[in-house]
A and B are shown apart, each in its own frame.
Chain A
Amino acid sequence: MEIYAFYAIAAVVLSSAVLMVTSRNLVHSIVYMVISFVAVGGLFILLEAEFVAAVQILVYAGGIVVLFLFVVMLVNVTETYQVEFLHRQWLPAAVLSLILATQIGFLVWGNAGDLSADPSASASVLRAVDGGNTETLGMMLYTDYLLPFEVASVLLLVAMIGAIYLSKKRV
C-alpha cells in the first residue's frame, strides 16, 4: 500500500519539478515549486518524520515561496514571461545533468539494498521520548545539538541583518 502512495507522490514531485524548470513564466514556476515542496512534505510523512514535514510545509511552502514571490514583484513584473529563458549552454547542461542523474541513480539503486531490507520497527528509536517524533527531535535539539542549534539561530540573525543591509537603497 505504502509503495503506491510513494509512487504517486514521487510522480508529483518529479513532474512538478520538471515543469518548474521548463516553465517560461516565473510565477508559474513558483507555483510548480510549491506543489513540489508540498509533495516532498508528503514524502516526509510517509517516512514517519512528522515534524520535519511540518517544518518543510511551513518554511518552504510558506515562507520561502512568499519571499520569492515578493522578489519577483519587486524586481520586474513585466519580465516574468521570458522568451529566451534558457542559457546558451542549455544543451550541454541538460545532457550533463541527465547523465549525472542517471549515474547517481544507478549508484544508489544498486548499493542501498541492504538498508532497504531492514524491516525493523523503527518506532523504538524514532519515537524514543514519550512515543512521539516531535518530542524526540526536540530532546535531541536541546541536548546533544544545543550548540549547533544556537549557532543556527545566530546564522539566521546574521542573514536577516545581511538581507536588510543588502536591500537598502544604497549598498
Chain B
Amino acid sequence: MLEYFWLIPLVPLVGVVVNGLFASRYIRSQLFTGVLASGCMLVAFAIGLGSFVQLAGMPAADRHVEIELYDWISTSLVHMHDNATGVSAAPFNVPFGLQFDPLSALMVLVVTGVGFLIHVYAIGYMKHDPPDKGFYRFFTYMNLFASFMLILVLGNSFAMMFIGWEGVGLCSFLLIGYYYQKKSAGDAAKKAFVANRVGDAGFLIGMFTIFFTFGTLDYDQVFAAAAANYQVGAGVITFATMMLLIGATGKSAQIPLYVWLPDAMEGPTPVSALIHAATMVTAGVYMVVRSNVLFSLSPATMTAVAVIGALTALMAASIAMVQNDIKRVLAYSTVSQLGYMFLACGVGAYAVGVFHLMTHAFFKALLFMAAGSVMHALHGELDMWKMGNLRKYMPITHKTFLVGTLAIAGVPGLAGFFSKDEILWNAWAGPNGAPWLWAVGTLVAGMTAFYMTRMLIMVFYGDSRMDEHTESHVHENPHVMTAPLVVLAILSIVGGYVGIPANLQIGPLAALHERVDIVRWLEPVTGGHSEATEDHGEADAHAMLPQSDTLVGPAVGGEAAQVVARAGDEPAIVLAAQETGGAEQEHAEDHTALEWTLMLISTTVALAGIGLAYQIYGRGKPVDEPAKRFGGLYSAMWNKYWVDELYNAVFVNRAKDLGRALWVFDDAVLDGTVNGVAEATKQSANASNEFDGRVIDGTVNGVANSVWSSSWVFRALQTGMVQNYALVIAIGAFVLVSAYLFL
C-alpha cells in the first residue's frame, strides 16, 4: 500500500471530475453522486489505512516515504541570499512531491476517515437539493476540499503545502457560499476568503523568507539546514515563523483573524463539520507542527503562539457561553478548541496539539452533525430557545450528542479528557509552559463544560419550546445520517486512549500505553520536547528514542537528529533541552503528584462548569434571566466583544474611505487631466476638420464633379447589367465572323 500512498489525494479528484463534469447533464442521480463521492473518500481512507499500517511496521527512524511525481516548477537561476558568499544564485525547483510520515499518516486518516463519515451524512442531509443543481455541486466541492486538504498534509515542501493551503481556502469559499442566493451566505464566503487572504499573505512572506534563507522549500532540507546553521532566537527564523504564524491564524481561526469561522456556518452543516473538524482549520495547526523545527528555534514566536492560543481559547469560550444559535455556539467552541491546540504547540508539546486535533475532529464532527440532525428535523431552526426536550423524539441524536458533550467537556474516560489534560499539563510543565497559561486553559475547560452543558440542556432536556406545527413533524433522521453519528460517538469515547498521560500509566493502561502512544508515534516528526518533560522518569519511553537521553532536541526523523548531533558547535538547543531535562530529573518524584493535582483541579473545574450550567439552565428559568444577572459582561459576550464592529470600523470602513478618497482623486485629478487632454484634442480636431472640409475636400470634390459632369456618355454605357455586356461580346463575335466572311 505504501508505494501507492500518492494516490490518496488523487482519488477524491475522480469524484470531482465525474460529478463535476457529468452529474448535472447525464447522471442526475443523488444516489450515484453521493455514493461516488463517499466511495472516493472511502478508497482514499483505505489506501491511507493500508499505508499507515505498513508505516507502523517499519522502524521508527525509517518512517518516512517520499515520492516526487514530476517537476512542478523548474526555473533556472533565482537570486537568493547565501551566508557564505553574500548574494548568489541557485535554481528554483519545486517537484510535485508527496511524503508519508507519521504526522501525514495521522492527518490523512483523520481527513479521509472523518471526511468519509461526513460525506455519508451529507447524502441524507442534502437530499432536498436537486441532483442536477445543488447536490452535485455540493459533493464536487466537498471532494475537491478533501483532495486539497490531502495535498496539504502530504506535500513534501512548503510550496506543496501552499497548493493545499490555497485550495482549501478556495473550497471553503465555495462551500460557505453554497447558498449563494442568500446575501448572508455570500457575505460570509467573502469574509472567509478575505480573512484567509490576509493570513495567506503572511504564509507567502514566510515561505519566501524561507526560500531566501535556505534556497529550498523542501521540508527535510529546510529543517536540516535550520537545525544545523541557526541558533535559537535567530532573527530571520523568528521573522519567518511569525509570518507563518499569521498564515496559521488565518486558516486556523485564531486572534486576530478568527472572525470568519463563526460566519462560516452559513454553509450547509456538513460543510461546517468538514471545515471545523477534518479539514481547513486544522491546516494551521498542522503547519505549525510540521515546521516545529523552525518554531522551536524562535522562543518569541513560540510565546506568541501560546499566548494567541490561550487568549483565543478564553475569548471564544466566553462568547460561546451566551450564544443562542446552535451552530454559532459550536463555531466558537471550535475557535476555542483550536486555541487549545495552539497553546499546546506554543508550549512545545506539538504531538499533544496533534492529539487534541484528532480527538477534536471526532467530537466536533459529531457535535456539528448532531446539531445538523436537529436542524434537519426542525426544518432549519437554529435558535436553541425554540428547541427543548428533543431526546423524546430523537433518541440516537440525543445519545450521540451527549457523548460528544461529555467528550469535549473533559469528563474523565472520554477522548477530550485525555487530550485536554495533556495540553494543560504541558501548559504548566512544558518547555515553554507557564502557570498562567495553565490557569487560562483550566478556566476555558470550565467554560467549555458550561456552554456545552447549557446547549445540551436547552436542546434535549427541559420543556419543549417548539411551536405545535414543528413539534408534530419532529422525527429521528434516517440511518444514513445517524450511522456516522454513532461511529463518531464511539471514536469520541475511545479516541483518547492513544495518548494516556504519564500519571495514569498504571495497570492495563500502562500496557496499552506500551503498545499505542500517539506522542511516541509522532516523535520522528516533532522531536522529543513533549516527551522530554512528561515521561522523563520512564525508561521505556526513552528506549524508543533513536538518540541518547541528553540529545533530546528538536529534530526531524533520525537524519535531522544526526545533523543536530553533528553540529557540535551549536549546543544551544541541546543545552536548553538538557537544562530542562536536568531540572525535571531532580523533581522526578514531584511530577506524578503534580500531574495528579493539576488533573484533579481541571476535572473539578469542568464538573463545576457542568453543575453551574445545570443550576442556571436546568430548572426551566425564563429566557432573559441569565442576561439580567450578568448585565454588561453578558452583553459584551453576546455581541462577541464587538470585534466584528471594531474590524468594520478600523479596517473595512477605512478601506472604503481609502477607496472613496482614491475615487475623488481619480475623478478630480486623473479624469480632469484626461478630459482636458481630450477637450484639447477635440478642439484641434475640429479646426483640422474645418480645413479638411473646406479646402481639401473642396478641391477633391471639385475635380470629381467636373469628371462626373463630363462623363455622362460613358455612364450611359455602364448599365451594370451583365447581360448587356454579354450582348456587346456577342456583337463583337458577330463583327469578327462577319469580317472573316466578307473581307
A and B touch in the complex (CB under 8 A): yes
Distance between Cα atoms of A92 and B731 in the complex (Å): 10
Quick one: given A93-B730, A96-B730, A96-B731, are A104 and B724 in contact (CB under 8 Å)?
no
**Is A163 on the interface with B (CB-CB < 8 A)?**
no
Contact check, A107 vs B730: say whether CB atoms are below 8 A apart: no
Bitwise interface map of A from 95 to 132 toward B, beta carbon under 8 Å scored 1, else 0: 01101100110110000000000000000000000000
**B723 touching A103, Cβ below 8 Å:** no
- Do the beta carbons of B734 and A107 come within 8 Å of each other? no
- The answer to whether the Cβ of A169 comes within 8 Å of any Cβ in the partner chain is no
Stretch at the interface among B39-47, B203-211, B281-289, B735-743: B735-743
Number of interface residues of B (CB under 8 A): 11
By the criterion CB–CB under 8 Å, are A107 and B727 in contact?
A: no
CB of B733 closer than 8 Å to a CB of A: yes
Q: Which residues of B sit under 8 angstroms from A103, Cβ to Cβ?
A: 734, 737-738, 741
Q: Which residues of A contact B731 (CB under 8 A)?
A: 96
Chain B 708-743 interface residues, beta-carbon cutoff 8 Å to A: 723-724, 727, 730-731, 733-734, 737-738, 740-741
Main secondary structure of the interface of B (DSSP, over half): helix
Kindly identify which residue among B723, B733, B737, B741 contacts A89, using a CB–CB cutoff of 8 Å: B723
A101 to B738, alpha carbons, bound, how many Å?
12
Q: Are B723 and A87 in contact (CB under 8 A)?
A: yes
| Contacting pair B733 A93 (CB below 8 A) | no
* B contact residues around A89 at 8 Å (CB): 723-724, 727
Closest chain A residue to B738, Cβ basis: A103
Decide if B724 touches A96 in the complex (CB within 8 Å). no
Residues in B with CB closer than 8 Å to A107 are 737, 740-741
Chain A nearest CB, measured from B738 CB (Å): 7
- Which residues on A sit within 8 Å (CB–CB) of B741? 103, 106-107
Distance in angstroms between the alpha carbons of A96 and B740 in the assembled complex: 17
> B537 CB to closest chain A CB, in angstroms?
88
Asked if A93 and B734 sit within 8 Å, CB to CB, the answer is no
- Complexed CA–CA distance, A92 and B734 (Å): 13
Q: Is the CB of B727 within 8 A of A104?
A: no
Contact A92/B733 with A103-B738, A106-B741, A107-B741 known, Cβ cut-off 8 Å: no
CB–CB A100/B723 < 8 A: no
Closest to B726 in A: A93
Query: Closest residue of chain B to A102, judged by CB?
Result: B737
CA distance A93 to B722 in the complex (A): 13
Assess the A104–B730 pair: CB atoms within 8 A.
no
- Could you say which of B727, B738, B740 contacts A93, with CB atoms under 8 Å apart? B727
Q: How far does the Cβ of B725 sit from chain A's closest Cβ, in whole Å? A: 11
Given known A89-B723, A89-B724, contact A100–B740 (CB-CB < 8 A): no
Asked if B730 contacts A100 (CB within 8 A), the reply is: yes
List the B residue with the shortest CB-CB distance to A97. Answer: B730
Q: Within 8 Å CB of B737, what residues of A?
A: 100, 103-104, 107
- Closest-CB distance, A112 to chain B (whole angstroms): 15
Bound CA–CA A97/B726 (angstroms): 12
Query: Is the pair A92, B740 in contact by a Cβ cutoff of 8 Å?
Result: no
A167 CB to closest chain B CB (Å) equals 20
- In the complex, what residues of B have CB within 8 A of residue A93's CB? 723, 727, 730
Give Cα A100 to B726, complex, Å. Answer: 14
A14 to chain B, nearest CB (A): 19
Q: Which single residue of chain B is at the shortest CB-CB distance from A89?
A: B727
Contact between B734 and A99, CB atoms less than 8 A apart:
yes
Contact A100 B733 (CB under 8 A): yes
For the complex, what is the distance from the CA of A103 to the CA of B724, rounded to whole Å?
22
A107 to chain B, nearest CB (A): 6
Nearest-Cβ distance from residue A29 to partner chain B, whole angstroms:
17
Which of A57-99 touch B at CB < 8 Å?
A: 87, 89, 92-93, 96-97, 99
Chain A residues near B724: list those with CB within 8 A: 89
A87–B721 CA distance with the chains assembled, in angstroms: 10
18 new A-B contacts, CB < 8 A, other than A100-B733, A100-B737, A107-B740, are A87-B723, A89-B723, A89-B724, A92-B727, A93-B723, A93-B727, A93-B730, A96-B727, A96-B730, A96-B731, A97-B730, A99-B734, A100-B734, A103-B734, A103-B737, A103-B741, A104-B737, A106-B741
Chain A interface (Cβ < 8 Å from any Cβ of B) = 87, 89, 92-93, 96-97, 99-100, 103-104, 106-107
B positions within 8 Å CB-CB of A: 723-724, 727, 730-731, 733-734, 737-738, 740-741
Q: Name 22 interchain pairs, CB-CB below 8 A, sorted by A.
A: A89-B723, A89-B724, A89-B727, A92-B727, A93-B723, A93-B727, A93-B730, A96-B727, A96-B730, A96-B734, A99-B734, A100-B734, A100-B737, A103-B734, A103-B737, A103-B738, A103-B741, A104-B737, A106-B741, A107-B737, A107-B740, A107-B741
The 8 nearest A-B residue pairs measured at CB: A103-B737, A100-B734, A87-B723, A96-B730, A93-B727, A89-B727, A96-B734, A103-B741
